[in-house]
Structures are given as C-alpha cells and as structure tokens.
Structure 1
Amino acid sequence: MHDSPAPNSGAPGSDSPITIRLDDFLKFCGLVGTGGQAKVLIQNGEVQVNGQVETRRRKQLVPGDVVELLGERFEVEATE
C-alpha cells in the first residue's frame, strides 16, 4: 500500500476535517494526468474507496480512507 498525504487541510484553529476530492486525489497520486481521465475511471466504477465502488468524483476523502485503482491501494494521510 502506498501512503499519500492529502494536500488540503481545514482552516487553522478550526475543527473542520482535512479533506480532498477523489478526482483530485487520483491526480495528486499521479494515477491520472487529467481530471477528465479521473472522471472516466470513477464513473466507470474502476475506483474503490474503503472497499466499495465509488462513482462520485467529488467524493470527499478524509485521512484513513483507502483508495484502490488498477490493483494498487493508496491511503489518505494528513499533512501538517
């Protein structure tokens, strides 16, 4: 499994969770080159989040979520 940090964080001093959209996460990890490629893979049901097929490209991921694509697993991690 690859560990990949989430590039977005909540507002400083707030309790808002750290999140990243699924399509942005795929781009961030280098699994796709464009948002269009991410959209096709997600809408075709080729991406799983926490073991379930996810077809919403704007699905908000949080630290601890596991994304699977093309036989590889990536865990969302927070960065400071």
Structure 2
Amino acid sequence: MRPAGGRSRAFAHGPSASFVPTPFFNIPRRANAMKTITIKTEYIALGQFLKLADCIDSGGQAKFFLQEYAVLINEEPDNRRGRKLYDGDKVEVEGFGSFQVQRS
C-alpha cells in the first residue's frame, strides 16, 4: 500500500546513505606548465578541444562547462563552444591549466 503522497516508502526520505553523486566535470588539476594539444586538422572547435584536453567527458557537457568556468583564448575571454582554435592559439581554462594548440 502506498502512502498518501503516491510514492513508495523507499523514496519517502530521499536517496540512500550509500548514494554518492559523481562530479559533472572532471576534477580540476593543478595549473603548472603549459600543455600541448596536437590536432591533425586546420582547426578544432572549443567544445572538441575541451574533450581532447580532458576538461570534460563528452561534447554535450561543453555548453554547461563554458557557463561555469572562465576560458581565455589568446588572453581574451570566450565562451562559444564553436569557436575555432588554430595552430598556435593559447587556451587557459580556470582550474585546469594552460594549453597550446599545435598542428601535426
């Protein structure tokens, strides 16, 4: 029999104590030396770059990531996930470090 609210008792008091949510984004690393991200094409979109740099796990997270974290491209703020990055561009991601795009 269900309580008056229509929910079973298993969910009446919230999730179990063993439930541990996983972080939405990867855990930030220490920002030390500039890391090089090598691409094979003429350019890479910022959303794809964030995946390649291990800042996010999937491309679908890019929009939300860019709303939460400051990203500087060549020392100018930018939050467009479609922004094209070319050989030599420098990208700084808050909490994740500095990166340079290099074409192979």
| TM-score, length-scaled by structure 2 | 0.61
Change (3 A) 1:30 1:45: closer
Structure 2 equivalent of residue 38 of structure 1? 62
Kindly name which structure, 1 or 2, has the bigger radius of gyration based on alpha carbons.
2
Residues of 1 paired with 2:72 and 2:82: CA distance? 13
> Aligned residue for 2:73?
49
How many residue pairs match? The answer is 70
% of aligned pairs identical?
A: 33
What is the TM-score of this pair, normalised by structure 1?
0.77
Q: Which has the higher strand share?
A: 1
CA offset at residue 37 of structure 1? 2.2
Gaps of 5+ in 1: 10-17
TM superposition outliers: structure 1 runs of 4+ over 2 Å: none
CA distance in 2, matches of 1:59, 1:66: 13
Asked if residue 4 in structure 1 is aligned to residue 29 in structure 2, the reply is no
Partner of 1:78: 103
Where do 5+ consecutive residues of structure 2 fail to align?
A: 1-33
Greater length-normalized contact order (CA 8 Å, ≥ 6 residues apart): 1
Q: Report the alpha carbon displacement of residue 19 of structure 1 after superposing the two structures with TM.
A: 0.3
- Local SS of the residue matching 1:23: helix
